[in-house]
């Protein structure tokens, strides 16, 4: 089960996101259920609560360097746990999408719940479809 925030990078129609999830399901033989939080309901998303804790920890400090942001992040705790903090150096290109023909094949692998097609999506590994 993946609870997604329905942001622009991971919504139920983002082609690159869905392609990667289908590849992940196949590689590990995992049936995956995507469940999206509705728009403007961040109170239900645990990651949003973590951001609130982080903002309180920073106490309005000016974060003007990467090192300062990483250092403050490393010193915070959330419910007694120190979340792993690291800099992601990979550059993610924007504007990349899967070709329509390829997306048609991927879409065949997605089982969208009737009436909630954008909110609940099941991905079944290729081997389990045969």
pLDDT given at position 65: 92
Note down the domain range covering 66: 2-129
Judge contact between 76 and 57, C-beta under 8 A: yes
pLDDT given at position 12: 84
pLDDT tens-digit map of 64-87: 999 988 988 888 887 888 888 889
pLDDT given at position 80: 87
The number of distinct structural domains making up the chain is 1
pLDDT tens-digit map of 6-49: 777 778 888 988 999 999 999 999 999 998 877 766 666 677 77
Please write down the HEC assignment for all residues of the chain: CEEECCCCCCCCCCHHHHHHHHHHHHHHCCCEEEEECCCCCHHHCHHHHHHHHHHHHHCCCCCCCHHHHHHHHHHCCECCECCCCCCCCCCCCCCCCCCHHHHHHHHHCEEECCCCCCCEEEECCHHHHC
């Amino acid at each position: 089960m993946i609870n997604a925030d329905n942001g622009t990078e991971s919504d139920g129609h983002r082609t690159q996101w869905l392609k990667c999830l289908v590849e992940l399901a196949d590689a590990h033989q995992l049936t995956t259920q995507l469940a999206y939080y509705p728009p403007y309901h961040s109170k239900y998303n645990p990651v949003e609560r973590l951001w609130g804790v982080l903002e309180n920890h920073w106490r309005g400090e000016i974060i003007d360097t990467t090192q300062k942001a990483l250092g403050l992040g490393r010193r915070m705790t959330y419910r007694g746990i120190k979340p792993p903090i690291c800099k992601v150096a990979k550059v993610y290109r924007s504007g990349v999408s899967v070709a329509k023909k390829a997306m048609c094949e991927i879409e065949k692998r997605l089982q969208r719940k009737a009436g909630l097609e954008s909110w609940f999506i099941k991905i079944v590994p290729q081997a389990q479809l045969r």
